[in-house]
Structure 1
Amino acid sequence: MIGSLRGEILERNVDGTVLLEVAGVGYLVTVSQRVIPELEPGSSTFLRIHHHIREDAQTLFGFTSNEDKATFQILLATHGVGPAMAMSVLATHPAASLVDIVANNDIAALQLVPKVGKKTAERLIVELKNRLSLDVLDGGGLGVGGGNSSIADVREALAGLGYGTDEIRDVLRELPSDADSATLLRDALKTLSKN
């Protein structure tokens, strides 16, 4: 099994793969659409690898962080989630955001993932609550952070004011987790008005 690769990026492809040359051997590695812009041809990189083996194929999935790799593996262990959907989830939501989404039962945020409807999002929330171990994801600065009722109140208020899910998610990441709802909402609105 391949656990990691360090080498030079030779090609970056539109299908979400990169050709990584290691000691004269080129490995085709599938990466998240979110990180592919970081992997410039000619640059050297280190990728943590999930070596996925099926009867008809072997695929290498590459990650720039331990948290993304651990989250990918947790997603794969979830009923009905294959490698393509797991990569799609990570392309839409980084590992830290996914922890917040699950902690806050944010079904709308999960529906931003292509091909994930309301029923699938609801099922994923339920299953990931049991599978997303904060211990596994901790250590990379991940945590529920805003997994409290104040954050949920602010998310609801901003949605009621007509802000989009992406705007809400981005602004909530910047808020402290120890303030009350009124303070958080005021800070969120200030930040949103600057953008």
Structure 2
Amino acid sequence: MIGSLRGEVLERNLDGTVLLEVAGIGYIVTVSQRVIPELEPGSTTFLRIHHHIREDTQTLFGFTSKEDKATFQVLLATHGVGPAMAMSVLATHPAASLIDIVATNDIAALQLVPKVGKKTAERLIVELKNRLSLDILDGGPTVARGGGSSVADVREALAGLGYGTEEIREVLRELPSSADSATLLRDALKTLSKN
């Protein structure tokens, strides 16, 4: 089993994979669409690896943080969630945001994930409450922020301003989830105005 790789990024591809050269061997690693812009060709990187083995194929999934890897593994253990959906969830919501979403029953936030409808989002919230440890992050639970997550507040504000679901999904994917609501909304509006 491969647990991590450190090497030079040779290529990054539109399909969400990077070619990472380690000691003369090239590994094709699937990464989150949120992470791919950070992996510049020619740069050296360290990825934590989930080595997914099936009867007919082996796939390496790479993560820049142990929290994202742990969250990916929790998602994989959830009924009806395969690697593609787990990566899609992480591309839309980093680990800290996902913990907030589950803790606050934010079904609308999970519906921002491509191919996740209301029923799937409801089922995921129920199942993840039992599986997703609020201690995945080093700092412990991140849910003591008050009413809900900053991302949820910004999503509602943008929807109220008339932005579509796809526009909101794309802009939130580009923003850090750790900022407060006012900062996130300001940055989201700046990004949307450029587009």
Same fold (TM over 0.5): yes
CA contact (8 A) 2:101 2:149 kept: no
d(CA) in 2 for partners of 1:168 and 1:39?
20
TM-score, normalising length: structure 1: 0.80
Q: Which has the larger radius of gyration?
A: 1
d(CA) in 1 for partners of 2:43 and 2:49?
18
Q: Residues 114 and 162 from structure 1, CA distance in 2 versus in 1: closer, same or farther, beyond 3 angstroms?
A: same
- In the TM superposition, 1:114-125 aligns within 5 A as 114-125=114-125
Give the SS at the match of 1:134.
Answer: coil
Corresponding residue number in structure 2 for 1:178: none
Corresponding residue number in structure 2 for 1:66: 66
Corresponding residue number in structure 1 for 2:179: 174
Structure 1: give runs of 5+ residues left out of the alignment: 176-186
Q: Per-residue CA shift, 1:7-33, capped at 9, x if unaligned? A: 000000000000000000000000000
Is 1:108 equivalent to 2:108 in the alignment? yes
- In the TM superposition, 1:23-34 aligns within 5 A as 23-34=23-34
The CA RMSD measured in Å over matched residues stands at: 3.2
d(CA) in 2 for partners of 1:131 and 1:57?
27
Stretches of 4+ moved more than 3 A in 1? 148-152, 158-161, 163-175, 191-195
Corresponding residue number in structure 1 for 2:94: 94
Give 1:149 shift.
3.5
- Identity among equivalent positions (%) equals 74
d(CA) in 2 for partners of 1:42 and 1:172?
28
d(CA) in 1 for partners of 2:172 and 2:20?
36
CA contact (8 A) 1:67 1:140 kept: no
Q: Residues 141 and 10 from structure 1, CA distance in 2 versus in 1: closer, same or farther, beyond 3 angstroms?
A: farther
Corresponding residue number in structure 2 for 1:45: 45
Give 1:161 shift.
8.3
| Count of matched residue pairs | 181
Q: Residues 104 and 172 from structure 1, CA distance in 2 versus in 1: closer, same or farther, beyond 3 angstroms?
A: farther
Is 1:162 equivalent to 2:160 in the alignment? yes
CA contact (8 A) 1:9 1:44 kept: yes
Give 1:168 shift.
9.1
